[in-house]
A and B are shown apart, each in its own frame.
Chain A
Amino acid sequence: MKGVERNKSKVALLLALFWSFFKLSPVSFGGGFAMIPVLENEIVIKKRWIDSKQIVDIFALAQSAPGAIATNSAIFIGYQIAGVTGALAAMFGMVIPTFVIILALATVFVSFQHNPHVIAALSGIRPVIVALIASAAYKMAKTALVDMSCWIICIVSTLVLMFCPSVNIIVVILSGALIGVVIVRCKEKIDMYSQGKLAKQNSRK
């Protein structure tokens, strides 16, 4: 009997998880970062599924892992609350509503795309999209480009992509990570060397 009850409460929990994300994802305009306070309010304050310290870790992982930040958060929150099935419940709750909405929008767009007003509106919108992309770079740069080597890595990868179109972007991204490791290691070596030298000078005195 107890097993049956436990199963029942597990199903109820999964449904509640699914529902939380299902009702929040259609109002999560603006993607990942816009969603963080909304999720925090639902998961930490209203449902008390996760405490406020743990949620910080969850968002840190969601931003570091590849993929959409909102989806990553949903999957990890679901996993922390109810294991693998919880991850799936939260993921489907997050993905299904936005999938349906975007399909509806795309269908509407296809039937209006030759309307002269729509074409004019899009001409006004396209520069904004470029601004959005550029502002994403600007905002990331403020926190992530911490020293000269970062700036060099960043500029070199832009130049490689612009002037060597045969180099695949995935290769560029992965080599960036590798170069980062090499640079950090070299800096450590240099630091150790100069500290060692200093120590020698001091001992001579």
Chain B
Amino acid sequence: MDLYIDILITFLKIGLVGFGGGYAIIPIIESEAALHGWLDVKQLTNIIAIAAMAPGPIAANCATIIGFKLSSLEGAVVACIGITLPSLFIILFLGKLFLKFQQHALVKAIFYGLRATIIGTIVYAAIKFAVSNGIIGGANGIDVKSVLVLLVSFVLLIKTKINPIYLIILAGMVGIFIF
């Protein structure tokens, strides 16, 4: 029972401050999962890989898999409810209010700092994931093959409109040959 409450509260918290959607929520999930000792970054990376290949929101998918890993179906249900409920309440209670005040100076000022900070957290997550997966800073300094895959996919992602799923599938096939 305690575990369920812990899962619920943790994902409620993540849902509540998960501004920016998708990959912007990953840093918060990583930090909370580490705080609870639920999984290491490498496991989380695998989970994100599955979450990104499936349809639906990446953050909610991650939450569901983490809940499933912690406590099978019940854990998955609790985690999914936890990350979704804040969206429901915030939109029902603050939705209309936000539309009315989205051009207000204070709201703009809040998002001015908030967005910049969120970007900071995503950069941190990218560095942390690269290090924890042994891509950079490992025993050999950098893992050449992984860094190559990383750089090529980064360029493809920002320069082309490639669907991330094809990129993941492609990288999986490349992985079977080179690792």
Contact = CB atoms under 8 A, between A and B. Distances in A.
A177 B68 contact: no
B138 interface: no
A126 B45 CA distance: 6
A123 B119 contact: no
Interface string A135-159: 1111111001110011101111110
Contact of A102 (B28, B56, B110, B150): B56
B176 A102 contact: no
B139 interface: no
Interface stretch (A3-11, A25-33, A41-49): A25-33
Interface of A: 25-34, 57, 60-72, 75-76, 79, 84, 87-88, 91, 94-95, 97-99, 101-103, 105-106, 109, 113, 117, 119-141, 144-146, 149-151, 153-158, 161-162, 168-170, 172-181, 183-185
A184 B112 CA distance: 8
21 contacts: A29-B165, A30-B163, A32-B57, A65-B91, A66-B18, A67-B15, A67-B21, A75-B91, A95-B56, A129-B45, A130-B135, A130-B150, A136-B22, A136-B122, A144-B118, A145-B116, A174-B17, A176-B117, A179-B113, A181-B109, A183-B113
A127 B54 contact: no
Contact of A126 (B25, B27, B49): B49
Contacts of A60: 99, 102
B76 A132 contact: no
A133 B129 contact: yes
B64 A103 contact: yes
B105 interface: yes
B30 to A, nearest CB: 8
A137 B20 CA distance: 10
Given A122-B49, A124-B149, A154-B120, 6 more contacts: A67-B59, A71-B84, A105-B54, A124-B173, A135-B154, A177-B113
A124 B113 contact: no
Interface string B55-71: 11111110011001100
B154 A131 contact: yes
B45 A158 contact: no
Interface string B8-21: 00000101111111
Nearest to B111: A64
Contacts of B172: 121-122, 124-125
A181 B109 CA distance: 5
A146 B112 CA distance: 9
Contacts of B171: 124-125, 127-128
A181 B106 contact: yes
Nearest to B35: A168
Contacts of B64: 99, 102-103, 106
A168 to B, nearest CB: 7
B56 to A, nearest CB: 3
